[in-house]
Amino acid sequence: MTMIIGIYGASGFGKEVMPLVRQQFPTLSKEQFAFIDDGQSGTTLNGYPVPVSYTH
């Protein structure tokens, strides 16, 4: 099973938290990280996918 780490909120705070979370999981690839946001589903942000929204 593949682990995917999701950061809820893709605005300012989420963008700042992502590098810190990446440091906590150094063996995971960039593709295993994503944002979950209620307004940007189906897009990418800072090179990370936003695959689902809060409303899904």
Q: What is the pLDDT of residues 1-56, one digit of tens each?
A: 888 999 988 888 888 999 999 999 999 999 899 888 877 666 777 777 777 666 55
What is the domain range of residue 39?
5-50
- CATH number for position 18: 3.40.50.20
CA distance 44 to 1: 24
Q: What pTM was estimated for this model as a whole?
A: 0.74
Core vs surface per residue 1-17: b (16+ CB within 10 A) or e: eeeeebbeebeeebeee
Backbone angles phi, psi at 21, to 5 degrees: -65, -40
In a domain, 56, yes or no: no
Domain-located, residue 27: yes
Domain count, the chain: 1
Q: What is 20-47 written as a DSSP string?
A: HHHHH-TTS-GGGEEEE-SS-TTEEETT
